[in-house]
Each structure stands twice: as structure tokens, then as C-alpha cells.
């Protein structure tokens, strides 16, 4: 797998926008869950919902780690092959699916963050 910082400009803008939007959506979803849904939802739905927020957060933090490695030394990213990328894409989709356990705007924020994370990783593929 080849990772690059220089690609098609439209693809770069999408990646930057999605990567910056994900933490905002995560924070909004978490605040809504903390203030309203934690007491309203049954325990199992609350646990599944917060796990989707944690999955997206971990996925995003892994992106920060990978970007840091790419900027420091490009060869350090050679360890991450196609299997890693498919795992990251699937974890973003799984987080979006788990977010269905939430209600209202927290659901929309979490599903959006998971789908944006999956789209970010799909857009990072360089042909």
C-alpha cells in the first residue's frame, strides 16, 4: 500500500474536510449522549452507542498516528498494508452501524462520523 500526501486536489480537500469534521461530530455526539441519552436509553443501548463513539475516536487517532509517521519518516508506514486499510475501513463502517443504538442527533452525529472515517480511508488509497 502506498500512502501519499500529494494526490488529486479534490481528493485532498475531501480528506482534510472529513478528517477535521470527525472530531467535531464525535464531540457533539458524546455531549448529547452524556447529557440526555445516558439516562434515557437502556443500559445495553447506551453501551453499544458509546462504543461506536469510542471506535470512531480510536480510528481517528490511528489516522493521526499514521500521519505523524508519514511526516517523520515515510518508510515507517510500509508496515501498514492493505489488510490494515481494510480493517480501518470496516471499523468505521462497524462504528456507524453500532451508532444506530443511539437516538436523535447523537445517532446522526455518530453515523456521520463513522461514515466519514470510512470514506477518509477509502479516499487515502493511491492508485
pLDDT 10s digits, 9-46: 777 788 888 889 999 999 999 999 999 888 888 999 99
Among all chains, which residue has been given the C-alpha cell 517523520?
72
Confirm whether 2 is domain-assigned. no
Alpha helices in 34-103 (DSSP H): 38-40, 43-72, 82-98
Instruction: Tell whether 81 is covered by a domain.
Output: yes
Residue 93 resides in a domain:
yes
Residue 122 CA to residue 25 CA, distance in Å, equals: 19
pLDDT per residue over 38-94, tens digit each?
Answer: 888 899 999 999 999 999 999 999 989 888 888 888 777 777 777 888 888 999 999
pLDDT for 70 equals: 82
Full domain range(s) for residue 27:
9-123
- pTM score, two decimals? 0.86
Residue 1 lies in a domain: no
- What domain count does the chain have? 1
Q: pLDDT at position 126, please?
A: 65
Per-residue model confidence (pLDDT) at position 4: 52
Residue 45 maps to a domain: yes
| Cα–Cα distance measured from residue 94 to residue 88, given in angstroms and rounded to the nearest whole number | 10
User: Residue 100 and residue 125: Cα distance in Å, rounded?
Assistant: 28
Question: Residue 87 in contact with residue 63, Cβ under 8 Å?
Answer: no
Amino acid at each position: 500500500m502506498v500512502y501519499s500526501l500529494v494526490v488529486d486536489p479534490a481528493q485532498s480537500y475531501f480528506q482534510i474536510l472529513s478528517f477535521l469534521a470527525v472530531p467535531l461530530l464525535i464531540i457533539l455526539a458524546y455531549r448529547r449522549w452524556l447529557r440526555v441519552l445516558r439516562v434515557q436509553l437502556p443500559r445495553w443501548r447506551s453501551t453499544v452507542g458509546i462504543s461506536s463513539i469510542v471506535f470512531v475516536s480510536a480510528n481517528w487517532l490511528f489516522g493521526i498516528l499514521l500521519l505523524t509517521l508519514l511526516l517523520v519518516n515515510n518508510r515507517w508506514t510500509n508496515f501498514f498494508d492493505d489488510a490494515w486499510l481494510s480493517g480501518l475501513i470496516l471499523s468505521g463502517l462497524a462504528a456507524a452501524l453500532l451508532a444506530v443504538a443511539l437516538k436523535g442527533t447523537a445517532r446522526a452525529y455518530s453515523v456521520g462520523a463513522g461514515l466519514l472515517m470510512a470514506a477518509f480511508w477509502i479516499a487515502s488509497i493511491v492508485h
